[in-house]
A and B are shown apart, each in its own frame.
Chain A
Amino acid sequence: MIEVRDLVRTYGKQGRKSSAFQALNGVSFQVPTGSTVAIVGKSGSGKSTLMHLLGGLDKPTSGDVLIDGTSLSSMRRRVADRFRAQDLGFVFQSFFIEPGQTCYQNVVLPLEINKIARSKRKALVERALDQVGLTDKLKSKAGTLSGGQKQRLAIARAIVHSPRIIMADEPTGNLDSATGEKIIELLFGLNKQLGCTLIIVTHDAELAARCQYRVEIKDGSVVGLHQAARTARRPAPPTSSTPRGNAVAAPRTRRVIQ
Chain B
Amino acid sequence: MKPLDVIRRSGRNLRQAKIRTLLTACALAVGGFTLTLTLAAANGARAYSQKVIDANFDPQALIVAKDKAVFGDSQSDQQGPQEYSAGSTTNAASVKLLSDQDIQSIAKVPHVEQVSRQYNLSTLYITRPDNAKRLTGAINILSPAQKLKLSAGSLTGGQGAIGKGQVVLPDSYLSPLGFNSPTSAIGQQLVLQVAGPGFGAQRPSQAFTFTIAGVSTKSDLDISFTNVGPFIGEEDGQAINLYANGKEAAERGVPTVIIKGDGTDTALIKADLEQAGYQARTSADLQSLLDQVIQVIQVIILVFGSITLVASFFGVVNTQYISVLERTREIGLMKALGMRRATVSWLFIIEATWIGFIGAVLGSVAAIATGIALNPWISQKINFGDERLLIFQPSQIALLIVFLMFVTTIAGLLPARKAAKLDPIAALRTE
Contacts and interface: CB of A to CB of B under 8 A. Distances in A.
Interface of A: 52, 55, 57-58, 77-78, 81-86, 88, 90, 92, 96, 98, 100-101, 105, 109-110, 112-115
B334 A113 contact: yes
A210 to B, nearest CB: 27
A98 B333 contact: yes
B16 interface: yes
A86 B338 contact: yes
Interface of B: 1-2, 5, 9, 12, 16, 329-330, 332-334, 336-341, 343, 424-425, 428
11 contacts: A55-B336, A81-B341, A84-B336, A84-B337, A85-B338, A86-B338, A92-B428, A98-B333, A105-B12, A113-B1, A115-B1
A100 B341 CA distance: 23
Query: DSSP class of B's interface residues: helix, strand, loop or mixed?
Result: helix
Contacts of A109: 333-334, 337
Contacts of A81: 338-341
Contact of B2 (A52, A58, A90, A115): A115
A52 B332 CA distance: 13
Which of B9, B329, B337, B341 lies at the interface centre, i.e. has the most chain A CB atoms within 10 A of its CB?
B337
A98 B336 contact: no
Contacts of A100: 16
A85 B339 contact: yes
A110 B5 CA distance: 12
A115 B424 CA distance: 21
B324 to A, nearest CB: 15
A90 B339 contact: no
Nearest to B426: A58
Contacts of B334: 109, 113
A83 B333 contact: no
A113 B330 CA distance: 14
A77 B338 CA distance: 10
A192 B126 CA distance: 116
A57 B5 CA distance: 24
Contacts of B9: 112
A73 to B, nearest CB: 15
Contacts of B343: 113
A81 B344 CA distance: 12
Which of A55, A78, A105, A113 lies at the interface centre, i.e. has the most chain B CB atoms within 10 A of its CB?
A113
A82 B16 CA distance: 29
Contact of B330 (A86, A98, A112, A115): A98
A58 B16 CA distance: 30
Nearest to A121: B5
Given A88-B338, A96-B329, A57 B425 contact: yes
Given A112-B1, A112-B5, A90 B16 contact: no
Contact of A112 (B2, B16, B336, B341): B2
Contacts of B332: 96
Given A113-B1, A115-B1, A115-B2, A96 B428 contact: yes
